[in-house]
Amino acid sequence: MMRFLLVTSLILFQTPLIFGQTSLKKIDLGKGEFQVGFQHYTTSDSTRTYQRIYDYNNEVHTRPIPISIWYPSNAKIENGQPISVLNYFEILKEEEEWEYLPNEQLLNWFYYSNTVANQNHLKEQTIAYPNAEFAEGVFPVIIYAPSYHASSIENFALCEFLASHGYIVISSPSRGTETRWMSNDNRKNMETQSRDVAFLIKEIGKFPTANPKQIAVMGFSFGGMANVITQMRNQQIKAIVSLDGTERYQYEVLKKSPFFDRNKFDVPYLHMAQKEIPEQVLKEDEIPAMLNTAFLLYDSITKSKAYQLRFHSLSHSYFSTLGVLFEKRDPRQDASDAEIMESYKWLTVYTLNFLNAFLKKDMSAIQFIENKPLENGVPDGLIDQKKKQAATSIFSFQDFNELASKQNYEQLDELYVTTLEIHPSLILPEGNLNTLGLQLTFNTETAMYGINVLTLATKIYPNSANLYDSLAEAYLFVKNTKMAVLNFEKSLVLNPQNQNAIDRLKQLKR
Three-state secondary structure of 236-275: CEEEEEEECCCCCCCHHHHHCCCCCCHHHCCCCEEEEECC
- In the three-class reduction of DSSP (H, G, I as helix; E, B as strand; rest coil), residue 81 is classed as coil
84: which DSSP letter?
A: B
Distances (CA, A) of 67 to 35, 171, 508: 20, 6, 66
User: What b/e string do you get for 267-302 counting C-beta neighbours within 10 Å, with b at 16 or more?
Assistant: bbbbbbbbbebeeebbeeeebeeeebeebebbeebe
Exposed/middle/buried for 14, CB within 10 Å: 0-12, 13-18, 19+? exposed
CA-closest candidate to residue 193, choices 158, 240, 228: 228
Q: What is the pLDDT along the chain (510 residues), one digit of tens a residue?
A: 334 444 443 333 333 444 458 999 999 999 999 999 999 999 999 999 999 998 999 999 999 999 999 999 988 877 789 999 999 999 999 999 999 999 999 998 987 889 999 999 999 999 999 999 999 999 999 999 999 999 999 999 999 999 999 999 999 999 999 999 999 999 999 999 999 999 999 999 999 999 999 999 999 999 999 999 999 999 999 999 999 999 999 999 999 999 999 889 999 999 999 999 999 999 999 988 888 988 989 998 988 899 999 999 999 999 999 999 999 999 999 999 999 999 999 999 999 999 999 999 888 898 999 999 999 999 999 999 999 987 655 788 999 999 999 999 999 999 999 888 777 778 899 999 999 999 999 999 999 999 999 999 999 999 999 999 999 999 999 999 999 999 999 999 999 999 999 999 998 887
CA-closest candidate to residue 266, choices 158, 404, 393: 393
